[in-house]
Structures are given as C-alpha cells and as structure tokens.
A and B are shown apart, each in its own frame.
Chain A
Amino acid sequence: MDFNYTPAEEQFRMELRAFLAEALPEGWGETVFLPEDEDEQAVFRLDWERKLYEGGWSCIGWPKEYGGRDATLSERAIYAEELARARAPELINIIGQNLAGHTIIHHGTPEQKARFLPGIISSREVWCQGFSEPNAGSDLASIKTRAELKGDKFIVNGQKIWTSFAQHSQWCLALVRTSNEGPRHKGISLLLIDMRSPGITLRPLRQISGENEFNETFFDDVEVPIENLLGPINEGWRITMTTLSYERGPEDALGRQVRIKQELDTLIAKTTELRNDGKRLIDDPLVRQKLGRSIAEVEIIRLNCLRALSRYLAGEDRGSDASILKLFWSEVGVRMSETAMDVLGPLATLNGDDPLAVGSGRWLTSWLQSKAFTIYAGSSEIQRNIIGERVLGLPR
C-alpha cells in the first residue's frame, strides 16, 4: 500500500496542470465563469473540448492508434482530479467520448472506427444517448423503439427520453428493438443514428433546476443504413451492459468527487465568513458535525475510487463494484447539498439575482441539480438490486 505517485505520474500531473492553466481563461472559476445563457454556454463548452483535443488531452484512455494516450489507470485518475480541480467545464460530448467511443473501439468495424472516432475525440461530432423511453426507465430491457430491416436500411420508429444535449448532437447511440422473439434482452441492437435524418423531432424537457439539458426524441420512419449497426444484431444489450460499467466506474466517480469537494470547500469557507447572532457559522457545534460528516464522506468517495482502480491495476475485473461507487457518490452528493442548504439556512433559498444571495445562489442550483444524481445512470434502487444480487449473491 502506497499513496505516493511515481515521478512519471507527477510529471504527467504537472504537464496537465500547466496545460490547463494556459488553456482556461484567466481567473477561471474565481471571477470568470461559464456563460449564463444555455446556448452560449454550449458553444463555450464545445470550444473548450476542441482546445483539449488540440492540446492532446482528449480521450486519454483511448489507444494511441485512435489518437489517445493509452493512459494508465493512475493517469486517468490524475486526469479526472486535475480537470475538476481546475474547474474545467464538464464535457457536452461525454456520451461520445465515454460511451460511444469506447463501444465503437471494442465492437465497431474498421469502417466505423475510421468514420466515427476522429469526430468523437475532437468533439467535431457530439453524441447523445438513446436508451431510456417513457416506459423503459429502470426496466431498460423493455424498450419498444423498433428498427425493422428493409433491404440495406433499418426503419426506426419510437420515442426516447432524457436524451441529454440532443439539441447539440450530430449522432445518437441508440438501443432499439430488432426482435420480439425469445427473452426480451436478446432482441435489442445498437444503432448509430444520424440526428439530422428526416423523421427525427426533438422536444426539450425543462428540469427542476430550470435548465433544459435534456429532451424527448421522436423517431418516425427514420432510415438508418445497415452499416450503422454496432456489433452483431440482437447483441446490443450485452455490449451495452459491459460498457455501462465505465459510465459508473471510478474514472467517472473521481471527477464527480472533486466537483463535490469544490462545492464543499467553498461552503466551508463561507461558514468562516457568515455569522448568526454575531457568531461564525463554523463555530456552531451542530454545523461542525454536519460538515464533518460531509467532509468524511466526500473524501471516502475518492478513497473508494482509488481502491477500485488499485484492484483493476492488480488485474481484477471490473465487476459490479461500479454500482457500489455510483450508489455511494450519488447519495453523498445529495446529502452534501442538503448540508449546504441546512448550514446556510434562509439565505440559501435566494437565487443569484437577489442582492442578499450567498455565493450567487450556487448552492441552491447545486441542491436542485443533485436530485438527478440518484436517478441517472441507474437509480439508487437499481444499484441496490445489483449489489444485493451480484455482489452479495442474494436471490432475485
């Protein structure tokens, strides 16, 4: 056991840190923030993704032949930490880079790799995820969006929901039903769908935070060429379940951790400034105990990730322990936001535009946003089922 990094890893960290300092605007995260307007924000974030690519810091875990760095797990952990520490904008093309790219590298044809990977790594083409449907949420295998093979094309009909950033996406990685025979998860395929195809309609969905990150996506007789089938037909479920372990894995959770920790550190700083009845908030024992719990839990997210990465480095398979990481970080994130609202009290309920607002209303926004943590990428209840059945071996 050793938590020190090797000189090569420290070197990697320093190179990345220097790049980030150079590439982000001066005063970033302190006086300069993301544009408030959602469209301007999208433009800014995509521009940032291209900067990362030009600097050689995009998709670092990909093999070198596809433009990545073949980064080790330790380097990926450092990468997640440093990007979050620099408060770098979160990726809009996260589905492309983490999910679609990864799946294409492992299951795509040489033609698909050549066609899609360069657009993904450079964020020239943004991807969205077409998995959930109005009647297929936690029960994802019950999807009904149909793809019928006619000649050399699939004809796709149905509806997807919660498609994040569909409005900015050129491509959709979609789970579609290609067979109604046999067990339902054996009749599902993965299609790469061009979002500019005729027959696709988007309807934005407003979130409880007021933002419009995701959409409903309707498919009416959308034609998809057969060469856009990813992996064998009717094998989409199996392929997706293996790639999803990356969506819930330690690389992802580490990035979440540092962002949650930044919120928490800013909160701690605030409690040393704000006063109730003349006394600093931090000097109230109740505040200290609540904060202490959050500090410990947030640090444990990081330690859980490092333990998982260490196991993978020692050759263990990525198993269902991704569910342990996801359940923990999401529940901790929600609790941390509740702590912030409790600690800041009445002032926490004010939006950034109110002159009395604390920290531009950031904790209010984070609190609302955090409610999604325990729902997306497999709800907490689904994670508990997975842990109960696959980790502990309890009966279904």
Chain B
Amino acid sequence: MNFNFDEDQRSLGETVAAVLADDAQLLAPDPVEAGTSKAWEALAELGLFSLLVPEDLGGAGFSLIDVSLAIEALGAGLAPPGIASTLVVTELLSRYGSDQLKARWLPGIATGELHAALAIQEVGSGPDPLSMRTAFVANGLSGTKMLVDGGSEADLFLVLAGSADGPAVVVIDAKADGVSCRAHDGLDPSSALAEVTFDNVAVGDDDILGGAAAADAVATLQDLGATVAAGMQIGIAARVLDISVEYAKVRVQFGQPIGAFQGIKHVCADLAVAVESGRSAAYYAFWAVAEDAPDRARAASMAKAYCGEVARDGCNRATQIHGGMGFTWELALHRYMRRARILEQAFGNSDWHYDRVTEQTVLANGHATRDEAVSV
C-alpha cells in the first residue's frame, strides 16, 4: 500500500505548473480565448502530449497516475481545458483504438501538432452524459453537441453517440464533410467552448472505439473524463486556498492581519481540510481508472462529486476573504470561479455523481438496484 507519488511524477507536476506560470495571459483578469496559446506550445515542447501515447507510436507509454499531478497543475494554472481533453482522448485512443486508428492520430497528438476535443453534452441532455440524441444510423453521424472545449481549434473529436448497438465513442476528423463549429458566447471564453454540429458525417467501422466492446470505451470515457475534471477542480481549489491564505497574512484591518481572526482563519482551515480530502479522492480515482479497479466507477464519481463542491466552495470563500477586492474584475479571482463552473458541468455535476455513488454502493453491497416489488 503506497499513496505517494514518486519523484518523477511530482517533478512533472511542478514543471507543468512552472510552464503555465510563464504564460501570464492564462491568469489575467480578461479571459482570452486560448486557442494555440504559448502554453500549448511550451507543454508540447516539454513532451506532455506524448506521455500517454504507447511507446511503439512514438510516445512514452506512461500511465494516467504519472500525469495526475500534471493534470492538477493544469487546473490550478487555468490551462486551456483542451489540453486535458487531448490527454483524455489520447488515453482512450491508446486503450480502445484499432491499430489503424492509433497510427492515424496518435503520432500527431504526441508531438502536440494535433488538438483533440470531447463532444459530449447536448441541449436538453441534463447531467447524465449518456442521455444524448446524437446518433449514427447507416454509418452517418448526426447531432449537435454543446460546450465542446477547444472545439474551434480541434483537429479531431471524440463524439459520444447513440447507435443501434447502444452508446458508442466515435472518432471524427474535424475536417470531414458535415462538421461545423460555432464559438459559444459564455461565462469563460478562455475555455474556448463551441457548439459542434455533425450533419450525416461518415463513420467507418474503424472509427468506433472498442469495436465490439464499444460499451467499455463509453464507460471508460465517463470515468476517465470525470476523474480528469475532478483533478483540475481540486487544482483550482488548492490554488484559491493558497491565494487566500497569502492575502489573509498581509491584509491588515483592526490593526492586525485578518488571518489572525478566527472568522477568517477557520474558513481557511476548513478549506485546507477540504482540499486535502479532495486530493485523496482525486488521486485514488486516478489510480482506480489507471488500474481498472473494481470500484473504478464509484471512485470516479466520488472524486467528481466531492472535488466539484470543494472547487465551488473554495472560489466562493476566496472571494469572500478578499472582501471588496474579491469582487473586482482586476483581481482576477473571478477567473477561477468561471472555470470551476465550466468544469462542474462537464461529465456530470456533483448531484448526479453523488446519486451514482449511491447506486454503485448499493450494487457493490449486494442490494437490488431496482425495486423488485414494483413491476411495470
């Protein structure tokens, strides 16, 4: 039993944090549409996008655990979310793509040349990632996805879609006929969110992840996506805690730093406990997803539900601790609040995941998940 990250894993997290810190635009008060930002290129140069690519395709063949702290750093540094989405796509392609599909996309992803995006949410689909109307019939994919991060810049999409054989994850070339993109006007322009429409886009058998085991790919996308989002959420929470603690040490009122008052100190302490607890949940979920542990789904939902709440609470409390300054555009704390809210919507919100935690537990404890006394 060992819950520690090793030296390389910690060092990667620190390096990613340092690279992001070099791009002042990422944390500036005005959220700028990231697109091909300085950070994207610097992280590509660092080799971040090659880490999850198998060795035979020019990658490092690392595990998700190796990049957990890097993902937390992406959250804390408000990196364009498309970076993490590209890592999710890489892991899914590596695990479920056919040889041909992997050879087509992974080498370009590894060098950072190709950007990938996840097309999951739809108008009217609610928090359940699986309730979608986008579907492919007779090898043509049709439907409209919303809040696709990095959508306008993407070279390929992983699209969650229904089919006669159940839900599937389909890989679509962004340049294919029938794909169109419209940038959203919304809360967080730095997330580069877009509406993406697929109008009878051709789908080859090879483009369906997992082939006959398509359901496994869908389930992994759900758990992996939720876990990566949770990792970024806890990164945000940890960062706003740090910022708040530093402020509480220097801001003087009534003749002393406000951090000396229990009204402020105890809020920081509660947040510190929540951040450490969220890290425990997120790190365990990374391990469970990497190892396909039997409790993978529950671990991912626990992390997404809990870290989502901690991120939200952390941003709200940070704003309160900063008082009037916290409400100013100029201080840029609002950037974290905006990003946290975007991540909350991704891969199911906290309420939906708490419900799923119960469902998974009822199942694991051997109780009936459905009421047998009520038959339709």
Residues of A within 8 A of B (CB): 1-5, 9, 74, 77, 265, 268-269, 272, 278-280, 282-283, 285, 288-289, 291-293, 295-297, 299-300, 303-304, 306-307, 309-311, 313-314, 321, 324, 327-328, 381, 383-385, 387-389, 391-396
Contacts and interface: CB of A to CB of B under 8 A. Distances in A.
A391 B272 contact: yes
Given A288-B355, A303-B284, A384-B265, A295 B361 contact: yes
A292 B4 CA distance: 27
A280 B272 contact: no
Contacts of B357: 292, 295-296
Nearest to B259: A394
B3 A307 contact: yes
B2 interface: yes
B260 interface: yes
Contacts of A289: 351, 354-355, 358
Given A288-B358, A384-B266, A395-B256, A265 B371 contact: no
A384 B287 contact: no
Contacts of B358: 268, 282, 288-289, 291-292, 295
Contacts of B359: 288
B128 to A, nearest CB: 13
B248 interface: yes
Interface string B11-54: 00000000000000000000000000000000000000000000
Contacts of A306: 1, 3, 280
A293 B284 contact: no
Nearest to A283: B371
16 contacts: A1-B4, A1-B5, A4-B1, A268-B362, A272-B367, A279-B371, A280-B371, A289-B355, A292-B353, A296-B305, A303-B283, A313-B4, A324-B272, A324-B273, A384-B266, A387-B272
Contacts of A279: 371, 374
Given A292-B356, A296-B354, A394-B249, A311 B305 contact: no
B260 A395 contact: yes
B255 to A, nearest CB: 12
B239 to A, nearest CB: 14
Contact of B365 (A77, A269, A310): A269
Contacts of B283: 1, 303, 307
B277 interface: yes
A268 B357 CA distance: 12
A77 B3 CA distance: 13
Nearest to B278: A300
Contacts of B287: 1-3
A385 B262 contact: yes
Q: What are the 9 closest A-B residue pairs judged by CB atoms, nearest first?
A: A292-B354, A303-B280, A394-B259, A388-B265, A310-B3, A384-B269, A387-B269, A292-B357, A384-B266
Interface in B261-303: 262, 264-266, 268-270, 272-273, 276-277, 279-281, 283-284, 286-287, 293, 301-302
The listed residue with most A CB atoms (<10 A of its CB), out of B264, B287, B358, is B358
Contacts, number: 168
B266 A288 contact: no
Contact of A3 (B1, B259, B269, B276): B1
Contacts of B4: 1, 310-311, 313-314
Contacts of A280: 371, 373
B305 A310 contact: no
B343 interface: no
Interface of B: 1-6, 9, 65, 245, 248-249, 256-257, 259-260, 262, 264-266, 268-270, 272-273, 276-277, 279-281, 283-284, 286-287, 293, 301-302, 305-306, 351, 353-359, 361-362, 365, 367-368, 371, 373-374
A64 B31 CA distance: 62
Contact of A1 (B3, B257, B272): B3
Given A272-B367, A272-B368, A289-B354, A392 B268 contact: yes
The listed residue with most B CB atoms (<10 A of its CB), out of A5, A9, A328, is A328
B65 A1 contact: yes
Contacts of A314: 4
Contacts of B277: 297, 300, 303-304, 328
Contacts of A327: 269, 273
A324 B272 CA distance: 8
Given A324-B276, A392-B245, A3 B284 contact: yes
A394 to B, nearest CB: 4
Contacts of A295: 302, 357-358, 361
B2 A293 contact: no
The listed residue with most A CB atoms (<10 A of its CB), out of B249, B277, B359, B373, is B277
B226 to A, nearest CB: 13
Contacts of B269: 327, 383-385, 387-388, 391-392
Contacts of B374: 278-279
Contact of B355 (A9, A292, A384): A292
The listed residue with most B CB atoms (<10 A of its CB), out of A2, A282, A285, A394, is A394
A2 B6 CA distance: 11
B1 to A, nearest CB: 5
Contacts of A313: 2, 4
A392 to B, nearest CB: 5
Contacts of B9: 1
Nearest to A74: B1
Contacts of A383: 269
B371 A393 contact: no
A347 B215 CA distance: 42
A377 to B, nearest CB: 16
Contacts of B302: 295-296, 299-300
B365 A389 contact: no
Contacts of B355: 285, 288-289, 292
A311 B245 CA distance: 24
Given A3-B287, A300-B302, A391-B272, 4 more contacts: A5-B1, A384-B262, A393-B245, A394-B257
Nearest to A280: B371
The listed residue with most B CB atoms (<10 A of its CB), out of A282, A297, A311, A327, is A282
A241 B265 CA distance: 22
B266 A303 contact: no
